[in-house]
């Protein structure tokens, strides 16, 4: 059985690498574009549920076949939503035989959250 990992098209930057939180400074246009892609991917109730399902699943990894029933959508529709999350750099995808497995990208959600977090008092 061959295992492949699909690279993400857009990697969300870690704040320590490139970005200052909006409430503390001004981000550059390229940074804003990249981060906006992440927020756009999160701006859908189904995708938010899929992220929570993957994160809560055993070993924080879930097969697409395990995600269709909880969200009540067909496998092609769930795969479409998962592809958007992979393209935004929030999830990674690993093909195992005929099934795809998804896992959160470490730090991806932290980077988005930190961008809009209030400064510490």
- Per-residue pLDDT tens digits for 59-117: 889 999 999 999 999 999 999 999 999 999 999 999 999 999 999 998 888 877 877 77
Asked if the model's pLDDT at residue 13 lies above 60, the reply is no
* Residue 81, token pair as written in the block: 């939503």
pLDDT above 70 for 55: yes
Write out the two tokens for 113: 């959250």
DSSP secondary structure letters along 34-67: HHHHHHHHHSSHHHHHHHHHHHHSGGGEEEGGGT
Tens digit of pLDDT for each residue in 15-48? Answer: 445 454 445 567 788 888 888 888 899 899 999 9
Burial class of residue 94 (count of CB atoms within 10 Å of its CB; 0-12, 13-18, 19+): middle
pLDDT, residue 10, reads 45
Q: Confidence class of residue 14 from pLDDT cuts 50, 70 and 90?
A: very low
Residue pair 104/90 in contact by the 8 Å Cβ criterion: yes
pLDDT tier for residue 6 given thresholds of 50, 70 and 90: very low
pLDDT at 121: 45
Partnered with residue 63 across adjacent β-strands are 101
- In eight-state DSSP terms, residue 62 is E
């Amino acid at each position: 059985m061959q295992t492949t990992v699909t690279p993400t098209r857009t990697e969300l930057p870690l704040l320590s690498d490139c970005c200052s939180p909006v409430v503390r400074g001004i981000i550059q246009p390229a940074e804003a574009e990249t981060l906006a892609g992440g927020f756009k991917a999160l701006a859908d109730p189904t995708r938010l549920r899929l992220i929570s399902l993957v994160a809560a699943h055993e070993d924080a990894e879930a097969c697409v076949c395990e995600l269709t029933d909880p969200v009540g959508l067909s496998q092609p529709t769930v795969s479409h939503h998962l592809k958007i999350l992979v393209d935004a750099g929030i999830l990674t995808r690993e093909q195992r035989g005929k099934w795809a497995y998804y896992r959160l990208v470490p730090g991806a959600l932290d980077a988005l959250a930190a961008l809009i977090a209030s400064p510490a008092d």
